[in-house]
């Protein structure tokens, strides 16, 4: 990979950097102050599990000594939305080779938003390299935040209340980026309506699953008529430049052939 590929991926992942570091640190602090484990287990969870809400849930389950079956069901319901993320990226990940398994593993909410919102060229191999680097950077940010928070939680005493708002702010930014990319308010209104409805009508323990189900049904219903909006966009400037270079090279070859004896 070229140095520009690493730089481009880093710039694309900057919004996640500013969200994952404080949020990962918040998890690390909670982990270090709630459980009697070595601080390095927190970044190890970020490496192996890599699920922000799942890791926070794991802390509470470990504190109450919950059974393995209950832990499995809780984690499954919490992260079931990732099944739908992968469906929309099957074409983008096709032919990714050894990178594909990691791209699937690292598909968090924020990474999914970046991968689907960014413009894409027709060079599938280059785009998959970018997807891989963005996914890798995001996980490194999370691991660094977990390690920093766990170390601070073991060595310092401070008030970390409110730090969890970093996740809310990050989702607001990513939602705006998605709107600018899709140029349609329909998914936003659907999500808002589903959230308000389940808050008023559904018990809190079931709100997330029901809201996701309602949103999924609404998006699948309107998908056929709006399919073009959800197709990854091709970077027109890159394609035009490539076409111009191809035409220029073809013209030169033709002109050179005309002057041959």
3-state secondary structure 192-238: HHHHHHHHHHCCHHHHHHHHHHHHHHHHHHHCHHHHHHHCCCECHHH
Q: Which residues does 160 contact at the CB level (< 8 Å), separation at least 6?
A: 25, 26, 29
Confidence of residue 79 (pLDDT cuts 50, 70, 90): confident
What is the mean pLDDT of the segment spanning 168-196?
Answer: 77
In percent, how much of the chain has pLDDT > 90?
Answer: 25
Q: Which residues does 52 contact at the CB level (< 8 Å), separation at least 6?
A: 23, 24, 27, 108, 142, 167
**49 DSSP β-pair partners:** none
Query: How distant is the alpha carbon of residue 43 from its chain centre?
Result: 19
Distance, CA of 158 to CA of 192 (rounded, Å): 36
Model pLDDT, residue 118: 86
Tokens of 102: 């990691």
pLDDT digits (tens, 9 = 90+) for 109-125: 889 989 988 888 888 88
How is residue 120 annotated by DSSP?
A: B
Q: What is the pTM of this model?
A: 0.65
pLDDT surpasses 80 at 181: no
pLDDT surpasses 90 at 14: yes
Burial (0-12, 13-18, 19+ Cβ within 10 Å), 251: exposed
Cβ atoms of 61 and 35 within 8 Å: the answer is no
CB atoms closer than 10 angstroms to residue 257: 8
**Tokens 């785009």 found at:** 127
Distance, CA of 112 to CA of 138 (rounded, Å): 11
Query: For the ranges 13-22, 142-151, 207-216, 231-240, which has the lowest average pLDDT?
Result: 231-240
Opening angle at CA 167, ends 165 and 172, nearest 5: 100
Provide the mean pLDDT of the chain: 78
Model pLDDT, residue 89: 85
pLDDT surpasses 70 at 15: yes
Model pLDDT, residue 63: 79
pLDDT digits (tens, 9 = 90+) for 49-72: 998 878 887 887 787 777 777 777
What is the mean pLDDT of the segment spanning 229-248?
Answer: 46
How is residue 122 annotated by DSSP?
A: S
């Amino acid at each position: 990979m070229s140095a520009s590929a690493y730089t481009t991926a880093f710039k694309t992942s900057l919004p996640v950097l500013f969200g994952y570091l404080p949020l990962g640190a918040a998890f690390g602090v909670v982990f270090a102050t709630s459980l009697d484990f070595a601080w390095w287990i927190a970044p190890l969870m970020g490496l192996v599990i890599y699920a922000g809400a799942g890791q926070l849930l794991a802390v509470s389950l470990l504190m109450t000594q919950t059974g393995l079956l209950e832990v499995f069901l809780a984690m499954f319901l919490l992260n079931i939305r990732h099944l739908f993320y992968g469906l929309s990226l099957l074409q983008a990940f096709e032919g990714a080779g050894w990178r594909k398994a990691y791209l699937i593993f690292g598909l968090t909410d924020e990474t999914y938003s970046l991968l689907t919102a960014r413009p894409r060229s027709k060079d599938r191999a280059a785009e998959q390299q970018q997807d891989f680097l963005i996914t890798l950077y995001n996980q490194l940010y999370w691991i660094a935040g977990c390690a920093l928070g766990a170390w601070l939680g073991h060595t310092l005493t401070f008030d970390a209340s409110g730090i969890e708002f970093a996740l809310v702010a990050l989702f607001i930014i990513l939602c705006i980026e998605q709107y600018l990319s899709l140029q349609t308010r329909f998914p936003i209104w659907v999500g808002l309506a589903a959230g308000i409805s389940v808050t008023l009508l559904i018990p809190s323990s079931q709100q997330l699953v029901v809201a996701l189900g309602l949103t999924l049904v609404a998006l699948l219903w309107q998908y056929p008529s709006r399919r073009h909006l959800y197709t990854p966009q091709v970077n027109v400037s890159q394609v035009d430049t490539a076409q111009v270079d191809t035409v220029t090279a073809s013209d030169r070859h033709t002109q050179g052939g005309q002057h041959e004896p």
